[in-house]
């Protein structure tokens, strides 16, 4: 059972990339899980589109473009599998893309969906956990950094730049925030 109303299925998504923008740079891995059901996860490593990379991005993720060019899945295959997983997870509900700094992750996922499959099951409106937190507790934008989020919302296991681990951590963070909102806690 996912943490959603009968009409929405919140899907926590995280990506690791070779740089700051899709198209010029590649999405190297994608991880996802349904909020409220993190054990059912999705993970894929993807062949790079080209050799463009920001060294710091590769250092953070630990990926090697040459290795991924051989071992990664073709983008169209990876995105088709992800689309099918999202549809299975959501069932009749609307899938809602949830990300921590959603604008970044969503931009890559959306670009890849449109480029390789012609459609995005999430549509045009990602839900940003940082913005949700800001609205929940009434803090300043600077206080939405992961290191500044209140301890009661932190994930038991922090992210480690593995896309699935990070998706699970941000799902837990978001789930705790939604629970606090429903109980009236701030």
pLDDT at 5: 58
- The answer as to whether 1 is a domain residue is no
110 a catalytic residue: no
Per-residue pLDDT at 3:
47
Residues of the chain with pLDDT under 70: 1-5, 185-186
Please indicate, yes or no, if residue 43 is contained in any of the structural domains: yes
Q: What are phi and psi of 170, to 5 degrees?
A: -75, -25
pLDDT digits (tens, 9 = 90+) for 60-110: 999 999 999 999 999 999 999 999 999 999 999 999 999 999 999 999 999
Is the model's pTM score more than 0.85?
yes
What is the CATH classification number for the domain harbouring 27? 3.30.420.10
Taking a C-beta distance cutoff of 8 angstroms, is the pair 95, 2 a contact? no
Segment 120-127 long-range contacts (CB within 8 Å, at least 24 positions apart): 121/83, 121/86, 121/87, 121/90, 121/95, 122/11, 122/86, 122/95, 122/96, 122/97, 125/97, 126/97, 126/98, 126/99, 126/102, 127/10, 127/96, 127/97, 127/98, 127/99, 127/102
Give the residue numbers spanning the domain of 116: 8-183
134 occurs within a structural domain: yes
In a domain, 3, yes or no: no
Q: Which of 110, 115, 161, 178 is catalytic?
A: 161
Token pair 């070779």 is found at 18
Alpha helices (H) in the chain, listed in sequence order: 55-61, 65-71, 75-90, 102-117, 129-137, 163-183
What's the structural domain count of the chain? 1
């Amino acid at each position: 059972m996912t943490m959603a109303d009968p009409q929405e299925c919140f899907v926590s998504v995280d990506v690791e990339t070779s740089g700051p923008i899709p198209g010029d740079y590649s999405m190297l891995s994608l991880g996802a899980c349904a909020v409220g059901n993190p054990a059912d996860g999705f993970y894929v490593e993807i062949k790079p589109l080209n050799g463009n990379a920001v060294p710091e991005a590769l250092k953070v993720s630990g990926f090697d473009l040459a290795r991924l060019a051989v071992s990664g899945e073709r983008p169209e295959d990876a995105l088709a599998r992800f689309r099918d997983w999202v549809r299975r997870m959501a069932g009749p509900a609307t899938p809602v893309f949830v990300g921590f700094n959603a604008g970044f992750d969503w931009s890559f996922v959306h670009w890849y969906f449109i480029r390789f499959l012609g459609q995005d099951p999430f549509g045009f409106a990602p839900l940003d956990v940082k913005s949700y937190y800001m609205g929940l507790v009434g803090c300043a934008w600077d206080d939405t950094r992961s290191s500044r989020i209140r301890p009661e919302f932190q994930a038991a296991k922090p992210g480690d730049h593995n896309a699935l681990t990070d998706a699970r951590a941000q799902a837990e963070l978001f789930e705790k925030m939604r629970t606090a909102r429903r109980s009236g806690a701030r």
